[in-house]
Structure 1
Amino acid sequence: MRFRLSGATIRPNKCSGMRTGLLVLMVACASPVHAQEAVDAKRADTIRQLDELTGQIGLSADKVASLDKEIADLKKDQTTLTAALIQSAKTEKKLTEDIAAIGDKLTDLREREDGIKLSLKGRRAALAEVLAALQRMGLNPPPAILVRPDDALASVRSAVLLGAVVPEMREQTEVLIADLKELSRIRTSIGDEQTRLTASLSGQAEEKKRLDLLLAEKQKLQTTSEETRKAEQQRAEDLARRATSLRELIASMEQDMEEARKAASAANQQEEQKLAASKERADNFASNQERLSAKVNFASLKGHLPMPGAGKLVRHFGDDDGLGGVLQGDTLETPAGATITAPTDAVVLYAGAFRSYGQLLILDAGNGYHVVLAGMKRINVSQNQFVLAGEPVGVMNEQLVASTGTVQLGNGAPMLYIEFRKDTKPVNPAPWWADRLAGRTTNDT
């Protein structure tokens, strides 16, 4: 049905409704692949903006000086520094999680903003048509019956026309106002989230600096002499070169520690000077084992271990590894430069490069259990060092390292590979995670 008034053609009700409905149908029926590509593109854009903002965040000279003074005022002992490290790592991890959450929220808000813009654009033609017709009516109004009774038919036609057009225009106007209000609210929310993001990034930069300063102070208090530490590192590297597998490396390191225990007895019967290094290794090992044995059995910690870093599990024990086998551990996707912490009290059995694993950290959790972490840019602990749960042990790369063959996902994000082993054999880590369903429910792959 059409009505013509002063040269304008109006298609009330059905036309604009059909157009809006067609737009909704086109959006709803879009290919899931294309929809996912749009979401991925929006997320990538958010990550790019986040990276740019991160590069602009820095600490002032006054803030660095304040942190230096804060660390200098600490009591310089292992207990105090370790407690400060654990608290700082916990704060940094929380800030990292907040930054990731804000990034996801910004992505969602920008998708909704684009959706409203698309909706407004799709209704622009219909709204313009109705408004143009009403404007023409204002310029050339129909005659009134009381003034010109002879033109009653034109008045009836105008009344019919207005009865058809005005409700449609009112409906369109109400929808338009609602969309504009929602668009304004979303833009305000985006601004608020960007402000929160900047504050969180500044806090994260501060915590990373505090962590670096604390780690430097703790390293100064290491009881092991520099000569012994270098000898230990060289010995571990030699064992790593000879080992052909992770299982063989763990077995070799365990055997090396057993020899250290035997050296403790031999040191009491031979010249102190000749076996000083061996006695130091043995004494450190015995001290760490005594501390470790006093802790809770690792098997009893099921359902209580936190993730060693902020992020989400993207691959799991038993998944196809893409090389004809299955994964023997979990893969955690982390933010760039994320701090990695020890999930449990443990002794560092090995810390260094190992074959395709890249930088590898093996933690002896006692009772035959080992925690293996691979994919870090830097490891902050050394062999035979005792670490507490939550203590920072390393830092992730800015992006995925190609040499880490166990974590080939191809999206460029840093990946931490995690294995739990019992008597050198891999076991599923899932039962140990405090929130082990989170990795699957938030997995976007």
Structure 2
Amino acid sequence: MSSLIRPGLRGLCLAALLATSGAALAQTPQPDPEALQREAMQKLVEKQARESELKAIEQRLAGNTEARAALEKEMAAIRADRAALNKALLDTTARTQAAEERLGALETRLALLQSSETAIRRSLDGRRNLIAEVLAALQRIGRRPPPAVLVRPEDILEAVRASMLLGAVVPDLRQEVEILGTDLAELVRLRNGIATEKGRIGTEMEQIAGERQRLASLIEARREREANAARDVEQQAALGKELAGQARSMRDFVEKIEKEISVANKAADAARQAIEQETREQRERMTALAFKDPARLAPKIAFAEAKGLLSLPAAGSRLRGFGDPDGAGGTIRGISLETRANALVSAPSDAWVVYAGPFRSFGQLLILNAGGGYYILLAGMQRIDVALNQFVLAGEPVATMGETSEAAATTVGVGTGQPVLYIEFRKDGVSIDPTPWWTKSQGEKVRG
């Protein structure tokens, strides 16, 4: 890695990623293989259907000329205003990640409902004889259920209730029929819940598609802004050369520079003295407010003072945490998050990009210099949207995850097949526990 990163970053190795290789996760007793295979196939089909729906929504939005015109108008209005562009990026990133997290929770609830539905259906399949006896009893007393009763749980439930009200069930079977009725009622409730959750999932997917479209336009606007800034730097350099040539002498030129530096130093000293006079409470308030300034070009606070203020770079669930066993006799030196496909990745903190690119089997690797000897490593993404030496704000979009894990299973110590984001904090070349830096709610989420 030292051949890819300048010598000053040799300490930023990926020991944590490599250390997670080795023994596979402990094997647990397996249930019925055929049942597991059916369940896995069902989940795969649902995942593919969900992704197809999302892509269809995105294509539909892309073809909406009115929406595109409105978006282009908005981009033109904020492109010239750096603070407005940064704020739009941060806000859109936050909304996208929040929607991704809500969608993940909805899908988890849907999976639980579907699992419960499957269990009840299996139970009902084992009691077909009882259902047939109930239907036969109704036919004997002249109530002939329609053919649909064999298909819809609602109709079966209605038939069971009718049989009990009419006394068509012999006393010996009454208790079994009551249990059957309870299970059928629960099945109907679950089916209604599943329909509701699917509707909510569709709504969230539409929001995510819209936010992704807006984010793509904002990232392109940011690229244009960075290109313009680079041209401005070149122009300033040329102006500096011209002014140097106009100076009466080298001594005169140097004296002017020294005078400007002296003025800047005095201003900095005065600012430091003012900060030192503030109370601890005031400094903490300033610390929290610093992250809300979208026009900043450098970190407003030291990384060491940002504990309890940082957000996780992506919405996801914890797979491995700092200090967890790596299965090879060592410990994990970072954290691994399982994310959604194509999840958005944001910068945890204000920082400068010191490396951005692919690295071996880890997918895309991003190294951020947070100042004060602190560095942040992000690995496993599919695409990086920032450039070397660029300054990024906390919460600013920097990368996107892929459809599946970009890193080899041995790299992150897990083999789920889902996208996995690896996060590592380092201080003076040594891995440190990132947990104290996360906000309280996210710190608890990472600890599991």
Q: TM-score, normalised by structure 2?
A: 0.65
Aligned counterparts of 1:69 and 1:292: Cα–Cα separation in 2: 26
Which one of 95, 99, 104 corresponds to residue 95 of structure 1? 99
User: What's the secondary structure of 2:389's corresponding residue?
Assistant: coil
Give the SS at the match of 1:128: helix
1:420 positional shift:
0.1
1:409 maps to: 414
Q: CA RMSD in A?
A: 3.4
2:78 match: secondary structure: coil
CA contact (8 A) 2:362 2:407 kept: no
- Aligned residue for 1:116, secondary structure, equals helix
Q: Report Cα offsets for 1:374-423 as digits up to 9, x if no partner.
A: 11111111122221111111111111124586325222111111110001
Find the counterpart in structure 2 of residue 437 from structure 1.
444
Q: Give the distance between the partners of 2:174 and 2:432, measured in 1 at CA.
A: 65
Shift of 1:87: 0.3
Change in Cα spacing, 1:209 to 1:120, as seen in structure 2 (3 Å) is same
Cα distance in 1, alignment partners of residues 436 and 43 from structure 2: 31
User: Could you tell me whether the CA contact under 8 Å between 1:317 and 1:327 is conserved in 2?
Assistant: yes
1:61 to 64, 68, 72: 64
Q: CA deviation at 1:363?
A: 1.2
Deviation for aligned residue 1:348: 1.6
Q: Which amino acid is the alignment partner of residue 411 of structure 1?
A: T
Does the Cα contact within 8 Å between 1:345 and 1:389 map onto a contact in 2? Answer: yes
- Specify whether residues 78 and 404 from structure 1 end up closer, same or farther in structure 2 by C-alpha distance, changes over 3 A only: farther
1:132-157 deviation digits (Å, cap 9, x = unpaired) = 5787799xxxxxxxxxxxxxxxxxxx
Matched residue of 2:382: which SS? strand
Instruction: Name the counterpart of 1:308.
Output: 313
Per the alignment, residue 212 of structure 1 pairs with 216
Q: For each residue in 1:199-226, what CA deviation from the matched residue of structure 2 results, as whole angstroms up to 9, or x when unmatched?
A: 2111111111111101111111125537
- Name the counterpart of 2:183: 179
Q: Which residue is 1:265 aligned to?
A: none
Partner SS, residue 225 of structure 1: helix
Preserved CA contact (<8 Å) 2:298 2:391: no
State the match for 2:333 in structure 1: 328
Q: List gaps (5 residues or longer) in structure 1.
A: 1-30, 139-162, 230-267, 273-290
Structure with bigger gyration radius:
1
Counterpart in the other structure of 1:51: 51
**Counterparts of 2:137 and 2:90, CA distance in 1:** 70
Per-residue Cα deviation, 1:29-68 (whole angstroms, up to 9, x for no partner): xx76449947656544432332232233221323333322
CA distance in 1 between counterparts of 2:396 and 2:358 reads: 21
In structure 2, do the counterparts of structure 1 residues 352 and 203 end up closer, same or farther at CA, with 3 Å as the change threshold?
Answer: same
Deviates more, 1:171-180 or 1:96-105: 171-180
Tell me, in whole angstroms, the C-alpha distance in 1 between the residues paired with 2:134 and 2:313: 61
Contact 2:358 2:364 in 1 (8 A): yes
Shift of 1:82: 0.4
Q: 1:169 to 1:40 in 2, by over 3 A?
A: same
Per-residue Cα deviation, 1:300-358 (whole angstroms, up to 9, x for no partner)? 32233211001112012233445664332111111111111011111222222334433
Question: What pairs up with 1:220-231 in 2 under 5 angstroms?
Answer: 220-222=224-226, 223-225=228-230
| Residues 1:76 and 1:34: Cα distance change in structure 2 (over 3 Å) | farther
Offset at residue 108 of structure 1 (A): 1.1
Q: How does 1:225-304 map to 2 (within 5 A)?
A: 225=230, 295-304=300-309
**Cα–Cα, structure 1 residues 112 and 390, in superposed 2: closer, same or farther, change >3 Å?**
same
Does residue 108 of the first structure (1) align with residue 115 of the second (2)? no
1:340 to 317, 340, 345: 345
1:363 to 358, 361, 368: 368
Change (3 A) 1:134 1:96: closer
Question: In 1, distance between residues paired with 2:250 and 2:97?
Answer: 49
Give the SS at the match of 2:132.
Answer: helix
Q: Would you say how many aligned residue pairs link Structure 1 and Structure 2?
A: 331
SS in structure 1 at match of 2:423: strand
Render the CA deviation track for 1:222-267: whole Å, top value 9, x for unaligned.
25537999xxxxxxxxxxxxxxxxxxxxxxxxxxxxxxxxxxxxxx
* Structure with more relative contact order (C-alpha pairs < 8 Å, separation 6 or more): 2
Asked if 2 retains the 8 angstrom alpha-carbon contact of 1:334 and 1:413, the reply is yes
Range with greater deviation from structure 2 (126-135 or 328-337): 126-135
What TM-score comes out, normalization by structure 1 length?
Answer: 0.66
What percentage of aligned pairs have identical amino acids? 42
Instruction: Give the match's secondary structure for 2:342.
Output: coil
